Structure 1
Amino acid sequence: ANKKLNILSSISRHDIANTLTEIFLTLELAQDTIEDTASQELIRETLDGLRIIRHQIEFSRYYQDIGVHAPEWFELDTIITLVVREMALPDITITIETGKVMVYSDPLIQKVFFNLIDNTIRHGKQVTVISFTLMYEGSDLIIVYRDDGAGISSDEKEKIFEKGFGKHTGMGLFLIRDILAITGLSIRECGTPGTGARFEIRVPKGAWRAGVEMGGVEKEGSGLFSFKPDDQ
C-alpha cells in the first residue's frame, strides 16, 4: 500500500510541476508584453503564489522520504561541509567546529542543516557569521548552530517548528524536527532575541560516537573548517 501511495504521489508531483512550469512561462511572457502597472502587479503576486506552491510540492517529496531508508552513521563535519558548499552564501562566513563526530540519523540529515542555514538567510537579516560547534551534557551530545542575525522572539521559539508557521512555506523547521525524531534526536531554539538565533540539536547516548579522541565535558569542539564569502 505504501509503495502504491508513493508512486501515486510521485506521478502527481511530476504532473503538477509540469503544469506549473507552463503557467510560469505564460505569465512571464505576459509580464514582458503587458505595460499596464496594475496588471503587472497582479502577475507578480500570482508568480509569488506559484513559487510557494512549488516549494510545497518539493516539501512533500522530502517528507515522503522520511523514514523510508534505514538510518546510517554520518560524519558531522563531512555532511555540514557538503551542504555549505552546495549553497549560495554571499557575505556570510561559516565556521564548522564539530571534530570527527559521527551521528546515527535518517539519511535526510543533510536537509536538517540545509534548512537551518536557509532559515537564517531568509529571516536572519544582516547575518555575517554562522557557526556549528559541539557541547556535551552528561552522555548526550549537543550540536549547536548559531548566527548573528535578528534572532527569534520568545513567543515564537516553539511555534517555528509548527507546520505552516512563518512567512515562507512554513515547512522547513517542521521537516527538521521529524527527520531528527526518527533516531531520537531533538531540537530547540534558545537564542537571545536581537543577538542571533541558537539552535541546539540533542543527540542521546547511543546515537553518536567519536571518530577520534575527544576530551572534556561541555566544551566546544575543535575547529576544522571555515568558509568565508570568497571561498564560495
Structure 2
Amino acid sequence: MNTIDDLYQKGPVIALLRNPADLWRITSTSENAEKYGIPSHGEFDLITVIQEEDKDLITRKLGAAVMQKRDEVTMRYRIHHPAGVQWIEDQCCLTYNPNGSVESAGSLLWTSTLPLEWRLLGKGANAWNMVSSKIRHDMLNQLTAILGYLELSQDLITDPMLEDFFGKEQNAAERIREKLIFTREYQKIGQLEFEWTKLTHLLTEAIGEAGCSRLPVQNTIQQNLKIFIDKTFKQALIKILENIPNHATNATEIQLSFLKTETGGIIIIEDDGIGIPTEQKKRIFELGFGSGDGFGLFLAEQELGVFGIGISETGIPGKCSRFELAVPAEILKF
C-alpha cells in the first residue's frame, strides 16, 4: 500500500466532499465508493441513496449541527446497497466563514455492524424481559396472597409482641411489592416505539393523569411544537407533575413554557407552591430519596435520559418549584 487511495481500496472507509451550499450534494468521492452503493464519479445527491425512514432524522441532525456551528457531527443511516441494505457511520467535518456560513464540508463513511449487533442484543434483551416479566408477575401474585393471609390473621392475634412482629412482616411484604412494581416500570425504559408527538398534548394528558387537573394551567408552549419520543416520556412527565398534589399542597397554578436555545430547547414546568429546599435539590433524583416511595423522580430522570434529555430543579425555596428539561435539537420539530 503506497498511497492513501490504496488504503481506501482495501478498507471499508469512503471519503467524500460536500457542497458547502447544499451539504447533501456530493462533489467528489474516493474511488472505492461504488462497491458500497455510492456513486464514485460526478456530482450527486447523497440523500437519494439513503433509506426513506432515515432521511428526516439525519437531515435534522446535520441541520442542527450547522445551526450550532459545530465542527463535526456523527450520523448513522442505511443506504441502498447492491447486496441489500448497508448501515453507514458518517463522520462529517465542517468549517465556517466569518459570517457563519459553511466554508467547507467533508465526510468519512464506514460500514457498520453495530445495528446487527444491536438487533441480536435486542433479541436477547427481549427474551430476558419476557422471562423476568413472567417471574415478577408470579411473585406479585404470591405476595398478594401473603398480604391477604396476613390481613385475615390480624384479628386472631392478641399478644402485643406478636402484633408488633405482624406489623413488621406486613410492612416488609409491602416494600417488596413496591420494589417489584418499580422494576416493572424501569424495564419499559427505551423499549417502546418512537414517534413525533405534539408536546402540548402530552403535557395536557400528563397533568390529568398526575392528579393536577384541579389547578389552572398557564401554557405558553406553541401548539405545533413536536418531540420525537416514546410513551415513557409521558410517564416521566407524570412523575414530575405528581410532586405538585403530593408536596406542593398550597400551589394555586401550574405554568408551562418552552425556551428555545442554541442546542435545542428547555421545557419548563413550574408551580407556585412551597418549593424545594436548596440542600435537597440534587438529592431529589436519587433512588429512595423523599417521603414517598423514592422512585418517582429517579425514574423520571432515567426515562428522560433515553432521549438525551437532562433534568434539573431550579425553583426558589419557599416560593416555587421549577423543573427544567433540556431537550436536544434533533428530537424537536418546530
CA distance in 1, matches of 2:247, 2:170: 21
Q: Which residue of 1 aligns with 2:152?
A: 29
Amino acid at match of 1:126: N
**Unaligned 5+ runs, structure 2:** 1-123
In 2, are the aligned partners of 1:96 and 1:133 still within 8 Å (CA)?
Answer: yes
Shift of 1:137: 2.7
CA distance in 2, matches of 1:197, 1:118: 12
1:158-203 deviation digits (Å, cap 9, x = unpaired)? 2211222223232221211222222221111101111121100011
| Equivalent residue for 1:14, pick from 134, 137, 154 | 137
1:59-95 deviation digits (Å, cap 9, x = unpaired)? 2112112112343222111112222333434854444
Q: Which residue of 1 aligns with 2:303?
A: 179
Q: Are 1:195 and 2:316 matched, yes or no? A: no
> How many pairs were matched up?
210
Cα 1:115–1:87 change in 2 (3 A) is closer
Cα 1:90–1:139 change in 2 (3 A) is closer
Q: Are 1:150 and 2:281 matched, yes or no? A: no
CA distance in 2, matches of 1:49, 1:119: 25
In 2, are the aligned partners of 1:91 and 1:128 still within 8 Å (CA)?
Answer: no
Q: Which residue of 1 aligns with 2:28?
A: none
1:16-43 deviation digits (Å, cap 9, x = unpaired)? 1111211222233344566778876765
CA distance in 2, matches of 1:33, 1:93: 49
CA distance in 2, matches of 1:73, 1:63: 23
Identity of aligned residues (%): 31
Amino acid at match of 2:304: L
SS at match of 1:184: coil
User: TM-score, length-normalised on structure 1?
Assistant: 0.77
CA distance in 2, matches of 1:149, 1:160: 16
Amino acid at match of 1:153: P
CA distance in 2, matches of 1:56, 1:208: 34
| Equivalent residue for 1:57, pick from 164, 175, 180 | 180
SS at match of 1:13: helix
| Equivalent residue for 1:78, pick from 201, 204, 209 | 201
Cα 1:23–1:96 change in 2 (3 A) is farther
Question: Which is strand-richer, 1 or 2?
Answer: 2
In 2, are the aligned partners of 1:151 and 1:195 still within 8 Å (CA)?
Answer: yes
CA-atom RMSD in angstroms = 2.7
In 2, are the aligned partners of 1:112 and 1:179 still within 8 Å (CA)?
Answer: yes
In 1, are the aligned partners of 2:215 and 2:254 still within 8 Å (CA)?
Answer: yes
**Unaligned 5+ runs, structure 1:** 211-232
Cα 1:88–1:24 change in 2 (3 A) is farther
Between 1:89-98 and 1:181-190, the stretch displaced more is 89-98
Higher RCO, 1 vs 2 (CA within 8 Å, ≥6 residues apart) = 1
CA distance in 2, matches of 1:146, 1:52: 31
Q: Are 1:98 and 2:221 matched, yes or no? A: yes
| Equivalent residue for 1:112, pick from 236, 242, 245 | 236
Shift of 1:114: 0.8
SS at match of 2:242: helix
Amino acid at match of 1:187: I
User: TM-score, length-normalised on structure 2?
Assistant: 0.55
In 1, are the aligned partners of 2:257 and 2:267 still within 8 Å (CA)?
Answer: yes
